[in-house]
Structure 1
Amino acid sequence: MTSKLNTPLWATFSAFPSTEAWPRFNGQPVPLGGMTVEHFLKHYWHKKPLLIRNAIPEFKAFFSPDDALSALHDEAFESRLIAQDETKGWQLKSGPLKLRQIPSRKKSNWTALIQGVDLNDASGHALINLFRFIPDARLDDLMISFATNGGGVGPHYDSYDVFLLQAHGKRHWRIGADQDPTLIPNMPLKILQNFKPTEEFVLEPGDMLYLPPQYAHDGIAEGDCMTYSIGFRAPTYRELGVALLNFVEDNIELEGRYADPKLKPQTTPAEVPPSMVSDVYAKLQELKWDKGWVAECLGCYLSEPKNNVWFETPAPIALAAFKRQVKKSGIVLARGSKMLYSTPWVFINGEHLVADGVDATALQSLANSRGAEPSDAQAWDTDSALWTVLHDWYAQGWLELVE
């Protein structure tokens, strides 16, 4: 498989107007309405909402309402259809749906939610990459919401940070902090029963609203509208704890086997011997939780692709030919690939390896840029094991050659 080089990442997105006047962070433009990344993170991120008028001036939607409707019956997308009916109340259907299950655009009060658009659309991928001033380990996906007049999902909380970019039409937002968490009972959605908004505003194309976690909000479409949601992962500590325990199970090294050579006659045979409990407890103390284990586990867990991500494997190519092509045109990570690192480990799609020296530098650069220019590849040692690693990733569809 081949791909157009996606550096600079924003250059592939024709919906962006000129970004020359935008503030930059790490060489990339940031859509914060003229605010610097440092100011945003210090005063707003994970703290309070921010309404950014004209965050992306002259913004043009790259994913149309018709695209959203098509995605509802496309297995490549994770999708949901939410409708509110006067007699039936709130209804939720998960995709893929049949065409006859999708309402007419002339009917009001329904919403289509399309997840993972960044994985299936080049412009969506370019858009979400504008937010890489937040670590990739936190970045989740681009969700697109298409709604007819009056459509929405009801007042609710999210457990994660989110940027809500208005792409088409208008949406009326009501938000409020410190809400009563009581939910309307017997509903297919988690809708707040006693929502009391403290602020309201209408967003038009190019406007963007940032909301921290647990900040109640309710968005209602005014006519047909589309909102692009850039969401961020916020796993629970329980979820991470389970992941770490699973990691330990796969990687544990604890020698020996339980034995009781000093066993005494047992008058209460059903009792678990206290000496056994003490012995096992003492042995398990040899397991030491350290930052290395945590970093290794986190990297594998957070780089694991979602269940609906698949990779198209290319036609086989010899290692020598692969080297020539990369040095000529460069390589990029496939849109579905998630690559992270925490020295000395490099993680990609749930797998990991140890790298050091110039190989580690090259792989870290690949992860940060999501690609490598021909000039980068030409500087790599021709005999380095790095080439074998990259060739293997290419064969699995995790990397793509540039046209």
Structure 2
Amino acid sequence: MLSLPVSTEVFLAEYWQRKPLLIPGGLTAFSPPVSAEELAGIAMEPEAESRIVVNRNSQWQLHHGPFSARDFNRDSPWTLLVQRVDHWVPEVADIRREVPFIPGWRIDDVMVSYANDGGSVGPHFDNYDVFLLQGDGVRRWKIGQYCDEAEPLLDHPDLLLLAEFRQEDEFVLNCGDILYVPPRVAHWGIAEGDCTTYSIGFRAPRLADLLSRRTDAALESLGNATLFKDPVPRPSARPGELSRSDIEAATTQLINALAQQQSPQWMGELITEGIDTEHGPDGAMSDEEAASLLGNGITSLTLQPEARVCWTEHEGSLWVFAGGDSLSVSKTHLPLLMELCDTWTLSSPQVEEMQSLEAGPNLLAFLLTRGALDVEA
């Protein structure tokens, strides 16, 4: 596990989503699992999401993959970035397990970048938390200001780069060092010689999306017969007025309607959407394929790197979410489900145990048909 210079409690209370933290030797025995050549090979695949950022004569250029070998021969500082490398390389997916103190449903992906000497993507900020793990070589990180919606950007058609970078700190990272950067904090990484960096990104759902889903759930339960109730009537002194008390009553009734929607489905289904098979192997199978596998015996099950799986207890049941869908099962499944989420694996005896539980085959079939599990028959 990632070795913090402060306690986990202090990190979550004082740094997480608040301020940057340098974590020297965060992974002391880290051996970068992807070389620059291997990263370039992934970037040449049509299914990979890759970019090259070039700084030529102080002008920023962006190129999108897939790339060919000649795209990696450049005479200016440049950076190759490949998204979702954890979906391609199991050893990169393992890096996600180094941060177990952050809820698993918050993780997005592990992006890997390569840069030659002076290579950079420019001064920018992200809308998500990120742990920047240094792989091969050395990278210098400059930390700047907190950026709000009004922060001026360069006039660039493709890149969201800051027009002004106000440096507040600077760190030099070697292999195994980590820099945590909260959302909207400006940062600027510059390679000192050839280097690779592993960016572990944690995204949060937009409040607008959460509100939309919760509202949709409330609308389904309200029906068309539920009407606005007038506040305590009182004579109107001004004809035609929509009174403040009417507006406040409507607002209160809407809040109460949303609060009465207690099912966790609206959130669980939203945050597990996006098993993005466009950028990795399609592990989802049909109901018939899942039933056949479960009937013929399974040696072990492994959580797919791209899988988004979470669960919650609600009104005596266990709700399981995967691939934007949900299933309610008995809480007797909880120990095995926690084992799967913790170790990413269920052994053959554990699979047999789950199949012996009531609705256990249904739960396994649910995860298989949502592309969440890889099977060894």
Superimposed CA distance per residue, residues 54-93 of structure 1 (whole angstroms, 9 cap, x where no aligned partner):
1122422111111222222213321111111117x11112
Distance 1:384 1:34, change over 3 A: same
| Structure 1: distance between partners of 2:183 and 2:262 | 28
Superimposed CA distance per residue, residues 180-219 of structure 1 (whole angstroms, 9 cap, x where no aligned partner):
8221224521211221212112111111111111211110
For 1:325, give the aligned amino acid.
G
Residue 294 (structure 2) aligns with? 322
1:139, CA displacement in angstroms?
1.0
Deviates more, 1:296-305 or 1:355-364: 355-364
1:346, CA displacement in angstroms?
1.0
Q: Does 1:185 align with 2:147?
A: no
Considering only aligned residues, what root-mean-square deviation do their CA atoms show, in Å? Answer: 3.2
The answer to whether the Cα contact below 8 Å between 1:108 and 1:149 also exists between their aligned partners in 2 is no
| Structure 1: distance between partners of 2:129 and 2:284 | 34
Distance 1:154 1:364, change over 3 A: same
Superimposed CA distance per residue, residues 279-325 of structure 1 (whole angstroms, 9 cap, x where no aligned partner):
xx89x969921375573111101111254355235797685863673
Structure 1 residues 192-271: aligned runs within 5 Å: 192-245=162-215, 251=220, 254-255=223-224
Structure 1 gap ranges (5+): 1-29, 259-273
The answer to whether the Cα contact below 8 Å between 1:33 and 1:56 also exists between their aligned partners in 2 is no
Residue 258 (structure 2) aligns with? 289
1:167, CA displacement in angstroms?
0.1
The answer to whether the Cα contact below 8 Å between 1:244 and 1:294 also exists between their aligned partners in 2 is no
Residue 205 of structure 2 aligns to a residue whose secondary structure is coil
Equivalent residue for 1:352, pick from 313, 319, 326: 326
Corresponding pairs, count: 347
1:378, CA displacement in angstroms?
4.2
Q: Does 1:83 align with 2:57?
A: no
| Structure 2: distance between partners of 1:236 and 1:392 | 27
1:334, CA displacement in angstroms?
1.8
| Structure 1: distance between partners of 2:147 and 2:306 | 37
| Structure 2: distance between partners of 1:336 and 1:186 | 32
Residue 91 (structure 2) aligns with? 123
Residue 170 (structure 1) aligns with? 138
1:375, CA displacement in angstroms?
3.9
Superimposed CA distance per residue, residues 135-171 of structure 1 (whole angstroms, 9 cap, x where no aligned partner):
0121111011111111111111111111101101111
Residue 67 (structure 1) aligns with? 38
Residue 283 (structure 2) aligns with? 312
Residue 92 (structure 1) aligns with? 62
Structure 1 length-normalised TM: 0.75
| Structure 2: distance between partners of 1:78 and 1:396 | 22
Identity of aligned residues (%): 30
Superimposed CA distance per residue, residues 329-358 of structure 1 (whole angstroms, 9 cap, x where no aligned partner):
332222222111122321011110112231
Bigger fraction of residues in helix: 2
1:126, CA displacement in angstroms?
0.6
Residue 269 (structure 2) aligns with? 300
Residue 231 (structure 2) aligns with? none
Q: Does 1:159 align with 2:127?
A: yes
Structure 2 length-normalised TM: 0.80
Distance 1:252 1:109, change over 3 A: farther
Deviates more, 1:203-212 or 1:178-187: 178-187
